[in-house]
Structure 1
Amino acid sequence: MVREFKLPDVGEGVAEGEIVSWLVEEGDAVTEDQAVAEVETDKAIVEVPSPVNGTVREIIPEEGEVVEVGSVIITFDVEGEPVEEGQTEGEARRAAESDAGSAPESEASGEAEQATTQGDATEETVAEEVSTGEGRVFAAPSARRLARELGVDIASVEGSGPSGRVTERDVRQTAESAGTDDASGETGGASQSGGEPSAQSGGATSGPGPMEDDVSGKSGGATSGPAPTSVESADRERTLAAPATRRVAEEQGVDLNAVPATEQRDGEAFVTSEAVMQYAEAQRQAQQSQAETAAETSAGERVERIQYKGVRKTIGDAMSRSKYTAPHVTHHDTAVVEDLVDTRERLKPKAEEQGIRLTYMPFVMKAVVAALKQHPKLNAELDEEAGEILRKNYYNVGVATATDAGLMVPVVDDVDHKGLLQISSEVNEVVQKARDRSISRDELQGSTFSVTNFGAIGGEYATPILNYPEAAILGIGELKQRPVVEDGEVVAKHTLPISLSIDHRIVDGADAAAFANTFIEYVENPELLLLE
């Protein structure tokens, strides 16, 4: 029995995913819950497990393809159950689409109309049109696509891969073999109705013979030898040319059917050796020009095109939604944090004894929560549909993290119930998981307020974009010594620049300033955090 497996919903709200890599191949035996593919969602890469024990029958989307949730991505032959001959529903559907796409528009529309009127075309009927008499064909999706591009019947290809699997190399060899057979059979014969003109008016040719390249072009005129032969063309249905012209085309490596016609004879394109030489020279000049251009850009292309998709596109969409939905206002200030620096230096060895690297982020997060408790307007979101402001009585802090795939915001839950060392441990863990793309979707959701530490790279102030639908986000600049006026004297002190962005629909500028003042009070006097 064939079991179709559809891309599952790998996270709340996920509508599609990109196939990053297949972990199995067609013909492989798999067990239930064995990972068969890696799929990239809008935030992370997740492994998709097999739902059954069985053998991989067909892999449908190729690596790099984006598929919708609910689409069939792989089929299995279930162990202990008979294997169906022919094709699965997915195979039949793609074969039918391929046939329709390669047929002329009128044929395709006619076939579609016929299928609509009949209405009862079964899966078996479609499968018979593309299956072999001996059973189904094992071939990779790339090999099937190549066969369609080269016009090769996949059922006629003898597979050299494992278990007779058809590879791209097998398809190419079959196509080349077919091309050789066509070339060897390119001999002229008796002219049929609608074929080449005969050597004499009203007569029939007895076979090919010597002919000069320069053939008389008079309408209806007789030639002194056999008529030009015709071959199938990629650019036109038939091409007329003398044998000598064909030899010239072969020597020059020119596709005779691509050469512009010299004239028309009885509605057929006729090509002379002179036209072939001109076309060959034009090709050589074009190739030389391309080579020169390639040499000029060998050090690197002037423009690199990168697909805007996956995590990068999701981040962009979220940024656009936030920026163009919530009116942003950013409040800037600076804290003098000499005591914070001293406190961390004293606690670092204690944290290292427990295997924890203590950064400034846990202090910042504890100060944020302490300030939010006093200014709850910033721990909120606007429910536009309900027309309500939702003020949260819990404190989940998101930590914006730069990764190779873009900006992610892993979340530490219930910061108000945790100590500095536990917060530090959890922050280090989720940040690392975000960077190596092993983080779960749940760990990227549910934040009520976010912090972004752009100062880790450098810089003092910024205008952070809200992690929508949150009402506020705090940006932290670089903590370092700067000149500070103290008792009328300019002295060097450790300072921490902050940039607080708010949703001005539900948070006023005065609220932002008050929150910033409270936050600064806590980071300037970290012992106050002991009271929280």
Structure 2
Amino acid sequence: MIKEFRLPDLGEGLTESEILSWKVGVGDTVSLNQVIAEVETAKAVVELPSPFAGVIRELHEQPGTIVEVGKPIVSFEVADDAGNPSSGPGPAASSPAAPASPAVGQEGEPARRQPNLVGYGAVVESSARPARRPRNALPVVESFPVTAPGVEPVETQPVETQPVKTQPVETRPRSTPPVRKFAKDLGVDLALVAATGPQGLITREDVQHFLDGGAAGAAPAREAGAAVALQTRPGERETRTPIKGVRKFTAAAMVQSAFTAPHVTEFLTVDVTPAMELLARLKESREFSGHKLTPLTLAAKAVLIALRRNPALNARWDEANQEIVTFNYVNLGIAAATPRGLTVPNIKDADSLSLLQLADALAELTESARAGKTTPAELSGGTISITNIGVFGIDAGTPILNPGEAAILALGAVRNTPWEYQGQVALRQVLTLSLSFDHRLVDGEQGSRFLADVGGILAEPGMALTMV
């Protein structure tokens, strides 16, 4: 019988993924949980295992295609209950009158879902819309009415044929939840972005094109006053690195509406010769033999210790509830340069790790990121981040916050520099720390004390004994 595999929900409520490559071809025989494809979500690259054992009969999507959760991506020919293969459509095959659903059996009873290493396909109520409902209570029913099985989906009809129902679309431009969040984090009004997606859907590329200076392309029905308002607020727009590419934020300290994050950056240049001497001794010790130790290891430990005295930097601004959420744990994000661009996976509960455990976690995280094996879970839930720009020979910078985090620390290059030492000029190992923080959450005094604590530990590691 023929069975379809629908794109599963890969976690974190993601609604779409891009097919990067197929690991199988039509006619190939696959086993259960064999990797059949590599897909990229808004957070990570994920390998898809096969939910069936059988023969590949059709690949519904080509590499480079963006696919919504719940859409068929591959069809299998599997053995029936008697163990005999069949090329005819089985009960699981979809049809216009009765779309396949992994939650309904032949007799109308709930069917047990097939096991899947990365999740289960979304249950599709009808061909007009996926079962996932928006989180906010907008007039979705008027814009996208549910159709009965066998009725042509509304999306295939021109919007102009339903003038009464187009008002909600005008007040809220069409896009997917990940794209809306992407635009919200950057402070972009989707009403000003030209849509190039199917049926007027605004894509991530449309938002990025707008940020790169592309035409606004607002619909004629939208008021020109919106464009004027944007011109009067150039400082409220940011450009930040999407997961697919390497870019830094190039604009403004504040963003509009619910997400507003005024950035402040402070710098501290420190003589870290004692820390580098400690690092050399640790590398030669028996306990750390075979473990990778770098200046980043010591800096990460210094950040974790300094956070105990300055918890305001380990927090999040909750706009919806008008609360400041202070975390009693630290998920330490580490910016990692990968072939696909910059990603920031994080070490869960890093504050509970010893220096040796932290060193191993950093090495594992970096290796996984460079190999493109970082999971969506590892890219989510960070509370504070470190970026090591020193590996590129850069002394200082103005790092941009990850959304939802209060601070990020940039480590510069460690350089042999003429420096005042014990009343004389000597050649010392010096680096510059750059700390950016959200000024809604962190006052200048709190940020300065945190930066001074990190610098103090790196300048004299024994100072850590006074902070724990």
TM-score range, shorter chain: 0.5 to 0.7
| Residue in structure 1 matched with residue 344 of structure 2 by the alignment | 409
Cα distance, 1:348 vs structure 2:
0.7
1:5 alignment counterpart: 5
Show the counterpart of 1:84: 88
Determine the structure 2 residue equivalent to 1:393: 328
Q: Distance in 1 between matches of 2:24 and 2:329?
A: 44
Q: What's the CA shift string for 1:72-103, capped at 9, x where partnerless? A: 1011222136432699648999xxxxxxxxxx
Task: Please give the per-residue CA displacement for 1:217-245, whole angstroms capped at 9, x wherever unaligned.
Answer: xxxxxxxxxxxxxxxxxxxxxxxxxxxxx
Tell me the secondary structure at the aligned position of residue 398 of structure 2.
Answer: coil
| SS, match of residue 519 in structure 1 | helix
Structure 1 residues 528 and 45, CA, compared in 2 at 3 Å: closer, same or farther?
Answer: same
Q: Which residues in structure 2 correspond to 1:313-328 (within 5 Å)?
A: 324=255, 325-328=260-263
- What is the alpha-carbon distance in structure 2 between the residues aligned to residue 321 and residue 396 of structure 1? 27
**In the comparison of the two structures, how many residue pairs are matched?**
321
Separation in structure 2 between the aligned mates of residue 452 and residue 70 of structure 1, nearest angstrom: 37
1:7–1:71 CA contact under 8 A, matched in 2: yes
Deviation at 1:320, TM superposition (A): 8.3
User: What is the one-letter code of the residue matched to 1:392?
Assistant: F
Which digits, 9 at most, give the CA deviation of each residue in 1:123-146, with x for residues without a partner?
Answer: xxxxxxxxxxxxxxxxxxxxxxxx
Tell me which amino acid in the other structure corresponds to 1:526: P
1:8-44 per-position Cα deviation (integer Å, ceiling 9, x unaligned): 1122132221111112222222222122111122233
Relative to structure 1, the CA distance from residue 351 to residue 508 in structure 2 (aligned partners, 3 Å threshold; closer, same or farther) is farther
Note the 1:467-482 alignment, pairs <5 A.
Answer: 467-482=402-417
Change (3 A) 1:494 1:420: same
How much has 1:488 moved relative to structure 2? Answer: 4.9
Matched residue, 2:15: 15
Which structure 2 residues correspond to residues 135-146 of structure 1 after superposition, within 5 A? none
Q: Write the distance in 2 (CA, Å) between the matches of 1:414 and 1:35.
A: 31
Q: 1:312 is matched with which residue: 244, 247, 250?
A: 244
Which aligned pairs between 1:268-347 and structure 2 lie closer than 5 A?
311-312=243-244, 324=255, 325-347=260-282
1:11, 1:530 → 2: CA distance? 41
Residue 291 of structure 2 corresponds to which residue in structure 1? 356
> Whole-Å Cα distance in 2 between the matches of residues 57 and 434 of structure 1?
34
- CA–CA distance in structure 1, aligned partners of residues 18 and 290 of structure 2: 37
**SS across alignment from 2:70:** coil
* Structure 2 letter corresponding to 1:360: P
**Distance change >3 Å, CA 92–CA 355, structure 1 → 2:** farther
Moved over 3 A (4+): 85-93, 119-122, 315-325, 351-354, 486-489, 528-532
Amino acid at match of 2:244: R
Q: Which residue of 1 aligns with 2:377?
A: 442
2:437 to 470, 489, 502: 502
Matched, 1:461 2:396: yes
Who is 2:196 aligned against?
A: none
Q: Which has the larger radius of gyration?
A: 1
Amino acid at match of 1:38: E
Residue number in structure 1 paired with 2:34: 34
Q: Which residue in 2 is equivalent to 1:66? A: 66
Alpha-carbon distance, 1:496 to partner: 1.8
Structure 2 spans left out of the alignment, 5+ residues: 99-148, 153-240
Query: Residue 417 of structure 2: SS of its match in structure 1?
Result: strand
CA distance 1:353–1:508, shift in 2 (3 Å): closer
Distance across 2 between alignment mates of 1:346 and 1:5: 55
Q: Say which structure is richer in helix.
A: 1
Cα pair 1:396 1:449 within 8 Å, conserved: yes
- Counterpart amino acid of residue 385 in structure 2: S
Counterpart CA distance in 1 for 2:394 and 2:320 is 38
1:497: how far off? 0.4
Distance 1:310 1:412, change over 3 A: closer
Determine the C-alpha separation between the residues in 1 that align with 2:252 and 2:77. 44
Identity of aligned residues (%): 40
1:46 and 2:50 are equivalent in the alignment: no
| Shift in CA distance, 359/440, structure 1 to aligned 2, threshold 3 Å | same
**CA–CA distance in 1 between the matches of 2:277 and 2:461?**
10
- Decide which moves more: 60-69 or 439-448: 439-448
What's the TM-score once normalised by structure 2's chain length? 0.63
Report SS of the residue matched to 1:402. Answer: strand
Match of 1:512 among 422, 430, 447: 447
CA contact (8 A) 2:249 2:400 kept: no
Corresponding letter in the other structure for 1:326: A
Measure, in 1, the Cα distance between the counterparts of 2:64 and 2:97.
23
Shift of residue 381, structure 1, vs aligned partner: 0.6
Matched, 1:424 2:359: yes
Secondary structure of the corresponding residue to residue 46 of structure 2: strand
Q: Distance in 2 between matches of 1:330 and 1:451?
A: 14
Q: Which of 350, 354, 368 is 2:303 aligned to? A: 368
Distance 2:412 2:295 in 1: 12
Query: Contact 1:335/1:496 (CA < 8 Å) preserved in 2?
Result: yes
Contact 1:396 / 1:446 at 8 angstroms: preserved in 2? yes
Aligned partners of 1:493, 1:75: CA distance in 2, in Å? 64
| TM-aligned CA distance change 1:92 to 1:522, over 3 Å | same
Q: Distance in 1 between matches of 2:342 and 2:422?
A: 42
Tell whether the 8 Å contact from 1:329 to 1:503 is kept in structure 2 after alignment: yes
Q: Is the 8 A contact 1:351 1:421 kept in 2?
A: no
Counterpart contact for 2:43–2:243, Cα < 8 Å: yes
- CA separation of 1:347 and 1:476: change in aligned 2, threshold 3 A: same
> For 2:284 and 2:12, how far apart are their aligned partners in 1?
41
Unaligned runs of 5+ in 1: 94-118, 123-308
The residue identity in structure 2 corresponding to 1:76 is: F
Aligned-residue offset at 1:444 = 2.0
Structure 2 CA distance for partners of 1:316 and 1:459, relative to 1, 3 Å: closer
Task: Give the deviation of 1:519 after TM superposition.
Answer: 1.3
Whole-Å separation in 1 of the counterparts to 2:274 and 2:315: 31
Moved more, 444-453 or 343-352: 343-352
Under a length normalisation based on structure 1, what TM-score does the superposition of the two structures give?
Answer: 0.56
Structure 1 CA distance for aligned equivalents of residues 345 and 253 of structure 2: 18
Q: SS at 1:312's partner residue?
A: coil
Return closer, same or farther for 1:350/1:389 CA change in 2, 3 Å cut-off. Answer: same
**Cα separation, 2, equivalents of 1:331 and 1:495:** 17
SS at 2:285 equivalent: helix
Matches within 5 A, 1:52-201: 52-80=52-80, 82-84=86-88, 89=94
Task: State the match for 2:425 in structure 1.
Answer: 490
